[in-house]
């Protein structure tokens, strides 16, 4: 992995630099990697508006909405014991 990184670093550097130049030409400011794009509340609003406007259907809305509750779960709650797993060989 480190070898791949070292080999590809010059290409990545050139591509990132050219992307920064193009974005400046269009008047866009670069976003830092650590910057959060949207808060959870903003994402909930975007999801709700997408559902209301018909961009996503009800099942998609429910599926994505459940993601916000996922951080309230403990791994033990969703784990299946290995002895109870059914698999095909």
Give the whole-angstrom CA distance, residue 84 versus residue 79.
10
Confidence at 13, pLDDT banded by 50, 70, 90: very high
Give the whole-angstrom CA distance, residue 36 versus residue 27.
20
Give the whole-angstrom CA distance, residue 45 versus residue 38.
10
pTM of whole model > 0.95? Answer: no
Dihedral through CA 42, CA 47, CA 51, CA 57, nearest 10? Answer: 180
What are 43-66's pLDDT values in tens digits? Answer: 999 999 999 999 999 999 999 988
pLDDT of res. 45: 93
Give the whole-angstrom CA distance, residue 79 versus residue 73.
11
pLDDT of res. 27: 86
């Amino acid at each position: 992995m480190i070898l791949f990184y070292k080999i590809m670093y010059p290409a990545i550097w050139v591509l990132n630099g050219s992307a920064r130049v193009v974005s400046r030409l269009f008047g866009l400011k670069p976003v830092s990697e650590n910057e959060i794009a949207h808060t959870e509340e903003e994402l909930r609003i975007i999801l709700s508006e997408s559902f209301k406007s018909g961009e996503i259907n009800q099942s998609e809305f429910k599926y994505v909405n459940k993601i916000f509750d996922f951080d309230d779960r403990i791994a033990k709650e969703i784990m299946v014991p290995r002895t109870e797993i059914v698999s095909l060989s």
